[in-house]
Structure 1
Amino acid sequence: MNERILIVDADGSLRESLSNYLRKHKFTVDTAATFQEAIDAYASYIHDFVIVEIELPDGDGLEFVSKIKSLNPLVKTIVTTSYPSVNSALKALKLKVDDYLVKPFVYDEVLKSCKEITRKPDLKEIEKTPSTSEEEFFSIIGESVEIKLLLEKIKKIANTPTNVLLLGETGTGKELFARVIHEASYRKKKTFVAINCASLPENLLESELFGFVKGAFTGATFDKKGLLEIADGGTVFLDEIGDMPLGLQAKLLRVIEDKEIRPLGSVTTKKVDIRFISATNKDLLEEVREGKFREDLFFRLNVITLHIPPLRERGKDIEILAYHFMRKFAIKMEKDIRKIDPQTIQLLLKYPWPGNIRELQNVIEQAVVFADSDTIKPEHLPEHVRHMKVTSETKKDIPLISIEEFTKEFILKYQSIYTEQELADMLGITRKALWEKRKKLGLPRPSDKT
């Protein structure tokens, strides 16, 4: 990227860390701490856009936006604030600000916003040009090792035609991961169709999938395209695939093998090119053994398996997601909520989250509703979260190990799969720091072993 960004913020550590982060992603960055410094900096260079804090020590960041837009109406702007309010949001909207971010924010959010704002579609781009850039993955919120490992796998398989099976508990976000795979592939300009195999009876599900021609059955007074035909060239996400009726499984198998469909009542077939991403929270091999799922279909769908980790295994992501949902619902409900009490965070970290991300979102939404200050406190959480007792089952789900033990297990588990640099990146440390940890833990690199 060649875009030049001006960061205006009174917080020196934030200015430095955010500017360094954006420079790593190929932006040219200038900084200013005050309103006047920002005016001087903007006059010195032509900036593509500005990230400005509203609460500057010597002026209003929105006034600065107004000034620079009077000079260049096309300049792109992001405003940040520690004190979100309906008034400032409306002012930002009137000024046609491109994004409004509430502190504290994750830098990935800023980068995602920057890339979305500066993205310029190239009409000459070949439709099937591989697309595995970072921007496709920012809809996945989290910094845990488990999520980093999963995203690394997704980057490797996204731009292939291979079918994928997503395994994970209810509420872990399987459809979101399916959409990420689609958006990072050469199929992203085509349709993504999500189908819940458990939501409809067999006859209705079949007509939805395959479509029908006029006269196919009573009430079929017109031709209707099925979802598989609509998704031609794109991706079909089959959620709850373990609940698909056996009769329909046989027809789906023929679609995968022959790459063609036949609408209900039709005597002709139509060729289709579809990537299938399936998801389930069931043990499909057990379903196969019990005769509830076709073995041949299982192996057609299960070319690559990705395990979506439950929220309780994602550590610090719980806090990151909690803040994300807090900001989302505070803005939606027009409430001035800026932080989560440390005791509240501890309760969230201890709770096992059987409903995973979906449950966390619901809990934070309720907390925002009941919060009567700028902070979400323990009493704003649902009773079952506040008074959760750590059972033996919970302890199994949340193993209590030291950082050193975790690091050692992590290195031993993944050193045969990833390079030293990749391992360091996933741990969030430098390669030198990884070498020092190996030395301290008595873990020579595989190539160093005798």
Structure 2
Amino acid sequence: MSSGGRAGRRLSDFGDSAMARILVVEDERVLAKNVREKLAAHGHEVRIAHSGREATATNAEFLPEVVILDLRLPDTDGLKILPQLKAESPFTNVVVVTAHGNERIAVDAMKAGACEYLTKPVDLDELLMVVGRVVDLQQINDNLTFLKSREEESSGLDRIIGDSEPVRALKESIRRLTRTEVLSLPDPPTVLITGETGTGKDLVARAIHYQGPRRGRPFIHVNCTALPSTLFESELFGHVRGAFTSATQAKRGLFEVAQGGTIFLDEIGHLEADMQAKLLQTIEHREIRPVGATQTRPINVHIVAATNRDLSAAVESGEFRRDLYHRLRVVHLHLAPLRDRPEDIPLLATHFLNLHCRRFGLGAKHFSEEALRALRRFDWRGNVRELSHTIESCVLQADSDVVEPGHLPMPGEGKAADMTIELPHNRVIQMDFERERPTLDEVEHAILVAAFEYTGQNLSRAARILGITREALRYRLNKSMETTRHAQ
């Protein structure tokens, strides 16, 4: 195995079996041989060193994930080479082995960087269990580190898809906000994100965090509707031991967990009145008081809130505090619904198509022009989220590399039943094919009447809009009116 393996290979590369490279540093040759055979039988790659000098040389070349280190070696004390082993390979986990009755030395080793210890005589089954625990824990840490890096890579402005004017303005607002934010500032400006359900408020909140100077600190997402009011204060601000019956130990609140980072208060519009008052106090004083505590604790957290409610209307109706509303909307970002930016639909649809194809391990697909036109005609009441779910369904239904209109969810399956028929000058006719089941004559009648009304009942202008002659329009109108009367 090459000496450069550490940089490109970690425990997470071993898959579900979580096998690892293990260095056994043990001067008792029989014990070392037995340990190697036990570990190798379970798939681990094992090297042996019988002295401190041999251990440091092998460690530098082998770069193990785990070192099993006897603290009594013929040429040195294991405690002396432990820091050297860790310095050479910081990610290495060291399990020390000490003679029975020398637990105090084992404690010193733990302070020096060891993660576990065993006493002699070594039980090989216990050793295998300890190694498995260390390997599994490191794999979890590796996965968390990987996921965190992936989240940072995939949570910036690039995730906000679109080239429409509303999207360009939104991105510029986020850039301006993150450029002016200073990490040491104890009271960064609060941000209120508004928009309909499914417009991507969570995505924008993450972009603000990962685009700014707090990207290396925690991002805590709090769904205000998911927490019962009885637990909300404890979850946000924490509690001390004995604060209430079930408080058997102290707990840090989410504001403290987010210290130095961002706390995202989703669905803030549904916050109850008493919690609105406590949140206002937190924002104004930049401090929290855990439940049952007598002292407050300072916080340095960027507060970002979001809602799909009209908070100004909620303020007027007395459902939401006016002072909290103005505190929250120091920076206000409004997300336009998808129906107001139809030019973004092809970009979004293609993005979701590629995303879901990779997710399901399928080959690349693309939309036909007819399918893209059909997608643009939909009335996306669920906005970007609904579009994503629709494309997910298309990916699973399409039996070719090309997604056609027939692969879109059919009426009765939910997504494509609600449509708008586009006319020139942004004129649209909305049709609900699921509930109304319109006939072709009814659709034609609706289009003719819409054009006629749009032009102020100017027959010539309406005919030009529809691309037919004045006489043809008169004929179609008369026929349409006659058909409608008979239908009634």
Judged with a 3 Å threshold, the aligned counterparts in structure 2 of structure 1 residues 260 and 387 are, in CA distance, closer, same or farther, namely closer
Structure 1 position 315 matched with structure 2 position 345: no
Aligned to 1:200: 227
**Equivalent of residue 164 in structure 2, options 129, 137, 144:** 144
Whether contact under 8 Å (1:197, 1:238) holds in the other structure is yes
Q: Which amino acid aligns with 2:265?
A: L
Whether contact under 8 Å (2:379, 2:419) holds in the other structure is no
SS in 1 for 2:315: helix
Compute the displacement of 1:231 (Å): 1.1
**Equivalent of residue 246 in structure 2, options 211, 219, 228:** 219
Q: Which amino acid aligns with 1:138?
A: D
Within-5 A mapping of 1:66-145: 136-145=156-165
Per-residue CA distance 1:236-287 (angstroms, 9 max, x = gap): 1111111001100100111111111011111111100122111111111111
Alpha-carbon RMSD across the aligned residues, in angstroms, is 2.6
SS in 2 for 1:390: strand
**Equivalent of residue 390 in structure 1, options 412, 420, 429:** 420
Per-residue CA distance 1:111-156 (angstroms, 9 max, x = gap): xxxxx99xxxxxxxxxxxxxxxxx9421212222221111111111
**Equivalent of residue 382 in structure 2, options 335, 344, 355:** 355
**Equivalent of residue 231 in structure 1, options 258, 265, 280:** 258
Structure 1 position 340 matched with structure 2 position 367: yes
Structure 1 position 289 matched with structure 2 position 316: yes
Whether contact under 8 Å (2:240, 2:290) holds in the other structure is yes
Compute the displacement of 1:375 (Å): 1.3
Compute the displacement of 1:157 (Å): 1.4
Measure the CA separation in 2 of the matches of 1:389 and 1:270.
Answer: 53
* TM-score calculated relative to the size of structure 1: 0.56
Whether contact under 8 Å (1:378, 1:386) holds in the other structure is no
Compute the displacement of 1:219 (Å): 1.4
Measure the CA separation in 1 of the matches of 2:253 and 2:389.
Answer: 34
* TM-score calculated relative to the size of structure 2: 0.52
Within-5 A mapping of 1:400-411: 400=427
Q: How many residue pairs align between the two structures?
A: 269
Q: Using CA pairs below 8 Å that are at least 6 residues apart, which structure has the higher relative contact order?
A: 1
Measure the CA separation in 2 of the matches of 1:220 and 1:231.
Answer: 22
Q: Which amino acid aligns with 1:376?
A: V
Q: Which amino acid aligns with 1:149?
A: A
Aligned to 2:99: none
Q: Which amino acid aligns with 1:248?
A: M
Aligned to 1:7: none
Per-residue CA distance 1:58-105 (angstroms, 9 max, x = gap): xxxxxxxxxxxxxxxxxxxxxxxxxxxxxxxxxxxxxxxxxxxxxxxx
Judged with a 3 Å threshold, the aligned counterparts in structure 2 of structure 1 residues 395 and 238 are, in CA distance, closer, same or farther, namely farther
**Equivalent of residue 302 in structure 1, options 321, 329, 347:** 329
Measure the CA separation in 1 of the matches of 2:420 and 2:158.
Answer: 33
Identity %: 42
Measure the CA separation in 1 of the matches of 2:239 and 2:291.
Answer: 4
Compute the displacement of 1:314 (Å): 2.1
Judged with a 3 Å threshold, the aligned counterparts in structure 2 of structure 1 residues 395 and 232 are, in CA distance, closer, same or farther, namely farther
Compute the displacement of 1:342 (Å): 1.3
Judged with a 3 Å threshold, the aligned counterparts in structure 2 of structure 1 residues 395 and 264 are, in CA distance, closer, same or farther, namely farther
Structure 1 position 329 matched with structure 2 position 356: yes
Compute the displacement of 1:333 (Å): 1.6
Whether contact under 8 Å (1:337, 1:368) holds in the other structure is no
**Equivalent of residue 392 in structure 2, options 365, 376, 398:** 365
Whether contact under 8 Å (1:232, 1:272) holds in the other structure is yes
Measure the CA separation in 2 of the matches of 1:338 and 1:240.
Answer: 36
Structure 1 position 381 matched with structure 2 position 411: no
Aligned to 1:167: 194
Whether contact under 8 Å (2:156, 2:206) holds in the other structure is no
Measure the CA separation in 2 of the matches of 1:287 and 1:330.
Answer: 42
Measure the CA separation in 2 of the matches of 1:220 and 1:290.
Answer: 37
Compute the displacement of 1:400 (Å): 4.8
SS in 2 for 1:365: helix
SS in 2 for 1:316: helix
Whether contact under 8 Å (1:337, 1:376) holds in the other structure is no
Aligned to 2:177: 157
